[in-house]
Amino acid sequence: MSSSNAIGVFDSGLGGLSAVKELMNVLPAEKIIYFGDTGRVPYGTRSRDTIRKYAFQDAEFLLKHNVKMIIAACGTVSSVAGDALEARLPVPYTGVVNPTAYTAVRETRNGKIGVIGTAATVGSHSYKLRLQKLDPGVQVFEQACPLFVSLVENGIIHRDDQITRLVVRRYMADLKDNGVDTVILGCTHFPLLREAISDYMGEGVTLVDSGRETAGYAAKVLKENGLLNDDTAVKRPEFFVSDTPEGFENVAGLFLGRNMEHTVTQIDIEQY
């Protein structure tokens, strides 16, 4: 495996781009190949078997590009298929659950941690199990927030938008009442709602972004495996989607936090 090979990143859709943004900050010399399964999003409302099947097809597509590492930039895939991917992939793998849980345990002061994610993520209790393994003393409060994914995919994210504020209040009220001081944004779509969530929860509550923590962890894994790229020139990512590239173009800038020159190619994921 050559250190000049790309890092493969995938998500059910465009949420994983929030992790790509962080990866580009932490590892600017790494080439990133991103696959967003925009034709089959969302994964978070599907069965375990379907999510696993999709996750392996997504990883197989990235392996065809000789990637040196695979990152599931998706809370749902990490929660439901993470162990199976880690056991079977021929290259280093990380999802978003473990690095994020580690940071949350470090950040909490009162030992009360909230976890928000898709229905599949929360139903798997992946974050809760991991958090309590790291520190059996923490109390974990979980909340599925399926509407957040739709808000983000449709760009309804502004902190002053009445719909955004209402949905945030609806989902976050119990966590607030329970006095959590740390909330894991356990879905890679959710960092786009960070401001609205923070406005409601208050300044004293730390929001842990799964994409950011995972980017830092990926850098560590590459270093430990001698896989950091020796060529230090800044690389541009390459994007693949399973639905029309127009949808990607409409919201990619939001997730990436910038507009940049890029290529987006549509592929047929069912053949992998």
Active-site positions? 74, 187
- Total residues contacting ligand DGL by CB under 6 A comes to 17
Going residue by residue from 51 to 90, which x/- string records binding to ligand DGL, judged by CB under 6 A?
A: -----------------------xxx--------------
Q: Which is nearer to ligand DGL, 15 or 82 (CB)?
A: 15
Is 43 among the residues that bind ligand DGL (CB under 6 A)? yes
Q: Which is nearer to ligand DGL, 115 or 180 (CB)?
A: 115
DSSP string, the chain: --TTSPEEEEESSSTTHHHHHHHHHH-TTS-EEEEE-TTT---TTS-HHHHHHHHHHHHHHHHTTT-SEEEE--HHHHHHHHHHHHHH-SS-EE-SHHHHHHHHHHH-SSSEEEEEE-HHHHHHTHHHHHHHHH-TT-EEEEEE-HHHHHHHHTT---TT-HHHHHHHHHHHHHHHHTT-SEEEE-STTGGGGHHHHHHHH-TTSEEEEHHHHHHHHHHHHHHHTT-S-S--S----EEEESS-HHHHHHHHHHHHTS----EEEE--GGG-
Q: What minimum distance in Å lies between the beta carbon of 232 and ligand DGL?
A: 31
Q: What minimum distance in Å lies between the beta carbon of 128 and ligand DGL?
A: 15
Is 94 among the residues that bind ligand DGL (CB under 6 A)? no
Q: Which is nearer to ligand DGL, 11 or 209 (CB)?
A: 11
Among 6, 33, 41, 101, binds ligand DGL (CB under 6 A): 41
Q: Which two tokens stand for residue 177?
A: 């009442």
136-195: contacts with ligand DGL (CB under 6 A): 149, 187-189
217-246: contacts with ligand DGL (CB under 6 A): none
Q: What minimum distance in Å lies between the beta carbon of 259 and ligand DGL?
A: 22
Is 42 among the residues that bind ligand DGL (CB under 6 A)? yes
Which positions touch ligand DGL (CB under 6 A)? Answer: 11-13, 15, 41-44, 74-76, 118, 121, 149, 187-189
